[in-house]
Amino acid sequence: MQYSIFVFIAALMSVALAQVWLLPDGRDKDLYSNVWGRALRNSNNGVTWNKPVGNGNVFGTLGSNDQGLFGKAGYQGTIFNDARGKMDGQAYGTRVLSPAGDTSHFGGKLNWANDNAKASVDISKQIHGKTTVEASGAGVWKVDKNTQVSAGGSLSGGNGKPDVTVNAQIESKF
């Protein structure tokens, strides 16, 4: 399972790079003769792109700073937007090369919301490292014309015991 996610992220990055580094007719162009190459060569801020694909976007950033080289790529899109609410998803991968050490992460997140509730979950994994999970949810429901109940909570963890937060409130207008 872990390798299939890594292959999926690598495929997304390949598609994104192919879209950026090829001319519209599909021919290769010299890296330093196009706009992207000049931006990479002359900038410490990096290059960011966002290309519509299907119901979402392929995105990415390549760059460098005093700490090293970095890159992030992924896909974000809408899974559904109907009577059930709206659900967006994202899959991403990052790579950092630096004198202090190299790191690679991959992960994904889902965000769902409807008229009176919302929830999100974000799971990321550092290659040869820990897995981090962050989840939250909240909702507001009307009991009658003067009373509403709200509840929410969050969970975050990755090292030992998770941090859990739960809250609820009843609000009544007199």
Q: Greater confidence, 145 or 9? A: 145
- Helix (H) or strand (E) holding 25, with range, is none
Handedness of CA 89, 13, 94, 131 (dihedral sign): positive
Range with the poorest average pLDDT among 10-19, 84-93, 101-110, 158-167: 10-19
pLDDT level of residue 82 (50, 70, 90 thresholds): very high
pLDDT above 60 (res 152) = yes
pTM of the predicted model as reported, rounded to 2 decimal places? 0.64
Tell me the C-alpha distance between 74 and 107, whole Å.
9
Long-range contacts of 90-98 (CB under 8 A, 24+ apart): 91/5, 91/8, 91/9, 91/12, 92/9, 93/6, 93/9, 93/10, 93/12, 93/13, 94/70, 95/70, 95/71, 96/68, 96/69, 96/70, 96/71, 97/68, 97/69, 97/70, 98/67, 98/68, 98/69
pLDDT in tens, 84-127: 999 999 999 999 888 888 889 999 999 999 999 999 999 999 88
